[in-house]
Every structure is written in structure tokens, then in C-alpha cells.
Chains A and B, each alone.
Chain A
């Protein structure tokens, strides 16, 4: 889906939502931000630096982490190993030597980062279980924990609540608020309107590849344009 005229900002210490109907261009925008797509025109800035033509790997090195709508997990590895992979990958970068071996003190740093992420996501009880054996909700949390363990300042979360039940979604929202309060910038692409409306500080609405509306969740919920184009009765319920 082509996206045109879109401009969005995800400030630190806040959660920014990106919503829109299927085919609105959310994933395209998301992939342009994370470097999996290169825009024909326009620019992407990360923490004040232009990164438009940098690879996803280079952007990750500069502080951009992400999760995936279609979960990307190492099914045969334990929860802890999956969570640690975020930290280890970022630490190893492009250096063959650093990919081969960890530096002195890195093992401890990695373990501590993983511990913090597991704690935050409530995954400690299952940390030694194989990811393939977990429920969808737990697996979503493992992906989030991996992104947290990587220590990224900006997190792009691609439909992180899909497959979660109401209770799990509520818990997920709480974790996201904690992350933002911790100083991170979160950009959330999400279908679950209840989650978006409850956790986001600011919301962008896309439709047919063009920006339709932007504002606080309350603005979005009360917007006739958005209601007509996308939200319908669901927004009225939330409001």
C-alpha cells in the first residue's frame, strides 16, 4: 500500500498510536520507519539524526527496536534465550569478533537486562520454558520482553495485542505505560481500539494511504471524519 503525505512524530515518554482500516498503509509506514522499506521521498529521523537510508540493522544500533505482527521467535529456545537475543544481537553488531565472543562483563549485563525485561513482563515463572510451548499471549510478551531487553529508546510495536484476550490486553497496556514512563518513545500500530484509546497519548489515523486525522484519543473518538471513515460504533462505545 502506497502512503503519501504522512508525517508523524513519536516523542519520548509517550505512546503514539497509528490506526486505520485494513489496507490504510499502517504496515508500510511502520516498515519505512524501521528500515524494512525505503521511501521514494520523505525522511525518517531517529533521536534527531536522519536515518532514511540506513538499514534496519543500523537503525537498531542507533536505538530503534521493534516487534512483529507475525511473531518472530526462536521456537526451540527458552524464554530467557529469546529475550537475551535482543541484547546480544545489539551488542554484536557487524563485528565478527563481537559476534564470536562476548566482552568481559557483557554476560552479566545481558543477564541483568533479560532479568529486568522478564520481571517487567511477568515472565520469570516461565523463563526456562521453550517458547514453542507457550500460549499466544505469553509469546507476545516474550517478543515485547526481547525488545525491552535490547534497551532501545524507541520501540515500534506492530499489533502487539493480536491474539490476546481482554485480561492479557489490559496487562499489556500497563506494561506499555510503564515503558513510556521509563523514558521510551513507543509507536503502536494496533487494531484493538480499546487498547489504543486507553494507553496512547496521541493518535494518527490513516486511510487509503493518506493521513485522515490526528489528535488525542478523545479527539479521535469524537471526530466525525474518523467515525465516518473508520471507527463507527466502536468509537462511540469507547467514548
Chain B
């Protein structure tokens, strides 16, 4: 028991360091860096390269990693953050997710996909205390976390720049009037944040090895610690890290005799995150730096006849696919199923302005439910597909609860926590993909060939596309666009916006479930491996770079994600693809900001000037960072 407590305090200390860096950058820039874990992972690779590959002594390698790479990453992040500061919450998330894709892709490109051992660089001596064996490295980690927390708290409370961090998000104009440069304050915050991320990556890598995905995910667990500190208070965030680490370690101890519960400990942070976001009073979770959404709707200026001709040509091309692609047809069938997933995400994110980082989780539930109903219960294929998709609807309704309560950023975090919980706890249980981890997924009777099944899926895709277009043109579509741009108007005009939110989440979950049910029979079986939670982040990033139009973007995004890799015979290209997706996602958000600034209409720029003058006349906002909790 005490041994597990010590382990918990050590890992918790590392979570604390990561979480503190996250909170400092979030509160000063208004950008919640989903790539914070990627910075930590990159730092671990830098240290590995310096120390393990090039033989640089570890103290020098560690200093270069934290104060060299960390500072450099901070400067780069500040540049990016400055450009995207006026973007919507969804765009900010997409840009920082792009960092995750780039770092993970580069790590695999350079060091290969396999995990590597990470040197135990800290002193390895140990001593006994109350019959518990304690390593010197463990003591050092705990002391480093404590020292950095105290130093950071002192800096924020006492230094001019640190104090300026308190107001910079809420009122940069006013801060500028006081003679403090907001850019300098934010740059300092990003440098601190990235140095903390680097330190946490460096300290956690010896425990888990050098594997980009795992490193990214483990530091992401700091999200829960940040939630305990209400994404604001530094001492509470430090304690939050310890709570997460200790809770996780004690759970490992508690379930050590039950292999079926072995997935529980690693899910503790995400469970904590999800529950905290559901129970923390709404007023305590205001989103820093959130701007009211300006329109992201891209109206088509194409002549309707030309559009119709394009649709007809596209439809004919899709019908001709089996005759054109030969043995790659199953890839196209999977891509068609993916189109329905992207339609579900587009409806949620683009039309209604909501966010979901668990869309692939809905897809998995639909696929598993379909397989159980079609194979286990022996229902007719079409009925099994329909019911399989319907099973996801109540899950969508559950996810609408955080959508009702929370600002977009926290909704994203809650859905992300939910996605990981699904993957770690539900996917691994026998009722999801069976005891063997895989279920048979049949094709409809009489349509078992690849070609016949392609046409079945294509028909469902057409029907889904028509449904989405009909929804957009119907009353619900208008309400959803109202929800995206001004939910206050809906409420003040007599519509219940919460009902609208539940409806769109249910509809979106249904379509994602439908996509899963269509995808499963492509290979004839379905298992957890087809639905990694990380893909929920990937699809959001890919949708962001897929251009305008709900239908068109769904086709483009699915083709980019599924069809393009099938033509990349060179394994190297395949490894580069996530880097390209990530870099393109960042570029799309940056380009959107630049174009948005350049192409703003005259009225808009006048209104912006009016807003700025109002901003300068306002009183200072309350403290944003620090202070005892």
C-alpha cells in the first residue's frame, strides 16, 4: 500500500509539472494546448538523441532539453498562438491537435514505430523508510516538482511579468495601456509552459519508454490535474496532479488481483476529468480568451446549375468506381463508410458549432452493436444496421449533457475523456467486441461480393447525404446555425437551445454509428483495433483541411484519410502522411485567420474598431492565474 502511495506521488508530481505548464499557457494565451503532451514527447526524443545516441552527459543533455528545446518550443508556440488567437475554439483545438500529429509522425519517421528503452539517467540508489523502498530518483522527481511549483507560484505572485499574466487574456488592451507588453507576457508564459512540458516528458520517459503515442497520452493525463485546479489555480493544480497520480497507483493496488479490471487504473485520470467537467459548477468553468464565434459558414458562390452538374459528375464517378479501381475496391467501400462519419462530424462541428472528440467512439459502438445484432441475434442485415446505429443515439444524448453545461473547450475535453474511457474500459470488455476481441460482421444476403457491397454502402451514403441536406434546409438546420452563431437568440426567441443540442448530438451519433455498421462488413469482422480513440482527433483535423461544403468536405476528408494511403506503396510516404495532415491542419487554421483579417468587410472592420475602443474603456478583469485556491 505505502509502496503504491510513493509511486503515485512520483507519477503525480510529473503530472503536476505538466499540468502547471498547461494552465500557465492556457490562462495567458486563451489557447488550451492539446499539443502540450506532444511537446513533452518531443523533449523526451531530444534528450534521447543527445544522451543515449550522441553520448552527451545527462545533466547537460537535460539542461539543453529543458532550457534549449523548451525555450525554442515556447517561442514557436507563442508565434502560432498569436496568429490563431482570434480563431474559434474548434479551430484552436484543431491547430494544437495538428502539433500532436506532426510530432508523432516525425517521431515515427525518425525513430520508427516501435517503443525504445529510455535511459534511467537519474541516480538509482535507494533507501528504506517505514519498510518502503524509496529510490533516489523518486525523491528527486518529487523535489523537482515541489521546487518548480513554488518557483512558479512566487514568480506569478511577485514579478511584474508574472502579475501581468493575471490579466493578459481577459484584457490585453488594458494591459497594453499600463505599459506592459502583452506579447512579452505571453511569450514568457509559453516559454515557461513548454519548459515545464519538456521537464515532464524527460522525467516520465524512463518509466514508460520512448514511444510518442504513449508519451503524448500520459502527459495528457495532466488534463485531469488541471481540471482539479479549475484550469486556473496553480497550487490546486499541483495538488491535482498528486491526487491523480496517487488515485491511479492505489487503484492499481486495489485491482491487482482481478485481470478483468486491469484497464481501470489507466482510465482514472479520464474518468476524473469527465466527472469533474460534469459536476464543477458552470460559473467556475469560464473559457479563457473565448471569442464569440464569427461566421465560419462558407456560402457557395457557385452557380446552382454548375453545382448540379458537379454533383451529377461526382455521382457518376462514384457509381463507376468498381469498374475503375480493381482490387482496391474495399478501400473505397471503407472510404464511403467514412463519408458518413465525416457527415456526422460536419453536422456537429460546422453546422451547429458544437465539438466532439469522441466521434470514432460512436462509430465503434455502432459497429459492435451491428455485429452483435446481425451475427449474435441473427437479425436481417438492414435491420441490424439500423438498430446498430440507433444504439448510439442514447450515448449521443449523454454527451449532449456536457454540451449543455460547458463552454466549447471543456466540451472538447469532456468528449476526449469519454473517448479514452470508451477505448480503455468499454472496448476491452467482452460485451463490446466479444471475448476474443473480434466479432464477425456479415454483409447483406445476396450482396456479399465486394462490388455488390460497395453499391449497398454507396446507396446508404446517398441516403445519408440527402438526409443531412434535408436537415440543413429544414427548420432544424436553421436552428442549428442559430445555435452555432448565437444561442442567446434562440433562447430569447422562444426555442429551447438544450433540446436543439440534444437533437444534433443524437443525429450525429446516429450517423457515426451508421458509419461503423457499414464499415464493419468491409473486412468481415470488427474489433477495437479499427477504432483507436486517437482517430477521433485525426478526423477533426482532417475535416478542417477538407475545404468548404458539408457533402464535398466529407468526401474529400474520407478520401484523404482512407483512399490516399492505399495508393502510397512506399511505407515512408505512409509515415509522412500524419505529418502532412497535422501541418495542413495548422496551416488551414493559420490561413483562415490571415484570410479572415484581410478579407473582412468594411462594416466588420468598423465594428471591430468599435469593439476595440470599448475594450480599452473597460475596467480591468479579475485575476486569471494564480492565487491560493
Interface residues of A (CB under 8 A from B): 34, 55-57, 60-61, 65-66, 68, 72-77, 81, 84-86, 88-96, 98-102, 130, 132-136, 139, 146, 150, 163
Is the CB of B294 closer than 8 A to any CB of chain A?
A: yes
Given A85-B478, A99-B479, decide whether A76 and B499 contact each other with a Cβ distance below 8 A: no
Is the CB of B485 closer than 8 A to any CB of chain A?
A: yes
Q: List 29 A-B contacts (CB under 8 A).
A: A56-B491, A65-B492, A65-B493, A68-B488, A68-B492, A72-B489, A73-B485, A74-B482, A75-B295, A76-B297, A77-B295, A77-B481, A77-B485, A85-B478, A85-B482, A85-B489, A88-B479, A89-B482, A89-B495, A91-B475, A92-B495, A93-B496, A94-B499, A99-B495, A100-B476, A101-B475, A102-B474, A130-B299, A133-B601
* Partner-contacting stretch, out of B67-75, B323-331, B603-611: B603-611
A61, A86, A136 pick with most chain B CB within 10 angstroms: A86
Query: B475 touching A88 by the CB < 8 A rule?
Result: yes
Question: Would you give the shortest CB distance from B243 to chain A, in whole angstroms?
Answer: 35
Is the CB of B161 closer than 8 A to any CB of chain A?
A: no
Query: B486 touching A99 by the CB < 8 A rule?
Result: no
Is the CB of B490 closer than 8 A to any CB of chain A?
A: yes
Residue of B nearest to A95 (CB): B499
Query: A102 touching B475 by the CB < 8 A rule?
Result: yes
Residue of A nearest to B297 (CB): A76
Q: Which of B559-612 contact A (CB under 8 A)?
A: 601, 603-604, 606-607, 610
Tell me the bound Cα distance from A84 to B474 in angstroms.
Answer: 12
Residue of A nearest to B483 (CB): A74
Residues of B within 8 A of A95 (CB): 499
A61, A92, A101, A102 pick with most chain B CB within 10 angstroms: A92
Query: B604 touching A90 by the CB < 8 A rule?
Result: no
Given A130-B299, A132-B601, decide whether A57 and B474 contact each other with a Cβ distance below 8 A: no
Apart from A98-B475, A102-B475, A132-B295: 11 A-B pairs, beta carbons within 8 A = A57-B496, A57-B497, A68-B492, A84-B478, A86-B493, A88-B478, A92-B475, A92-B494, A94-B499, A130-B299, A136-B607
Question: Would you give the shortest CB distance from B407 to chain A, in whole angstroms?
Answer: 17
Which 9 A-B residue pairs are closest in the complex by CB-CB distance? A76-B295, A76-B297, A89-B493, A60-B494, A89-B495, A90-B494, A94-B496, A75-B295, A74-B485
Tell me the bound Cα distance from A98 to B476 in angstroms.
Answer: 9
Query: B603 touching A89 by the CB < 8 A rule?
Result: no
Tell me the bound Cα distance from A73 to B482 in angstroms.
Answer: 8
Question: Would you give the shortest CB distance from A147 to chain B, in whole angstroms?
Answer: 8
Query: A57 touching B475 by the CB < 8 A rule?
Result: no
Residues of B within 8 A of A132 (CB): 294-295, 601, 603-604
Question: Would you give the shortest CB distance from B612 to chain A, in whole angstroms?
Answer: 14
Is the CB of B438 closer than 8 A to any CB of chain A?
A: no
Contact partner of A56 (CB less than 8 A), chosen from B297, B476, B492, is B492
Is the CB of B149 closer than 8 A to any CB of chain A?
A: no
Tell me the bound Cα distance from A91 to B607 in angstroms.
Answer: 32
Tell me the bound Cα distance from A156 to B39 in angstroms.
Answer: 51
Residues of B within 8 A of A61 (CB): 494
Is the CB of B262 closer than 8 A to any CB of chain A?
A: no
Query: A100 touching B482 by the CB < 8 A rule?
Result: no
Question: Would you give the shortest CB distance from A139 to chain B, in whole angstroms?
Answer: 8
Residues of B within 8 A of A85 (CB): 478-479, 482, 489-490, 493
Query: B299 touching A76 by the CB < 8 A rule?
Result: yes
Residues of B within 8 A of A86 (CB): 493
Query: A150 touching B601 by the CB < 8 A rule?
Result: no
Question: Would you give the shortest CB distance from B209 to chain A, in whole angstroms?
Answer: 48
Tell me the bound Cα distance from A93 to B485 in angstroms.
Answer: 18
Residues of B within 8 A of A89 (CB): 479, 482, 489-490, 493-495
Q: Which of B458-496 contact A (CB under 8 A)?
A: 474-476, 478-479, 481-482, 484-486, 488-496
Residues of B within 8 A of A96 (CB): 499, 502-503
Tell me the bound Cα distance from A98 to B500 in angstroms.
Answer: 11
Residues of B within 8 A of A55 (CB): 491
Residue of A nearest to B496 (CB): A94
Residue of A nearest to B478 (CB): A88
Query: A136 touching B492 by the CB < 8 A rule?
Result: no
Is the CB of B296 closer than 8 A to any CB of chain A?
A: yes
Fill in one digit per residue for B308-343: 1 if any A CB lies within 8 Å of its CB, else 0.
000000000000000000000000000000000000
Query: B297 touching A77 by the CB < 8 A rule?
Result: yes
A66, A72, A89, A150 pick with most chain B CB within 10 angstroms: A89
Residues of A within 8 A of B494 (CB): 57, 60-61, 89-93, 150
Question: Would you give the shortest CB distance from B267 to chain A, in whole angstroms?
Answer: 33
Residues of A within 8 A of B484 (CB): 74
Question: Would you give the shortest CB distance from A109 to chain B, in whole angstroms?
Answer: 12
Question: Would you give the shortest CB distance from B506 to chain A, in whole angstroms?
Answer: 9
Question: Would you give the shortest CB distance from B602 to chain A, in whole angstroms?
Answer: 8
Tell me the bound Cα distance from A150 to B494 in angstroms.
Answer: 9
Residues of B within 8 A of A163 (CB): 610
Residues of A within 8 A of B491 (CB): 55-57, 60
Tell me the bound Cα distance from A98 to B494 in angstroms.
Answer: 12
Question: Would you give the shortest CB distance from A56 to chain B, in whole angstroms?
Answer: 5
Tell me the bound Cα distance from A203 to B486 in angstroms.
Answer: 31
Question: Would you give the shortest CB distance from A229 to chain B, in whole angstroms?
Answer: 22
Question: Would you give the shortest CB distance from B608 to chain A, in whole angstroms?
Answer: 12
Residues of B within 8 A of A101 (CB): 474-476
Tell me the bound Cα distance from A99 to B294 in angstroms.
Answer: 24
Question: Would you give the shortest CB distance from A156 to chain B, in whole angstroms?
Answer: 9
Question: Would you give the shortest CB distance from A94 to chain B, in whole angstroms?
Answer: 4
Given A73-B486, A75-B294, A133-B601, decide whether A99 and B481 contact each other with a Cβ distance below 8 A: no
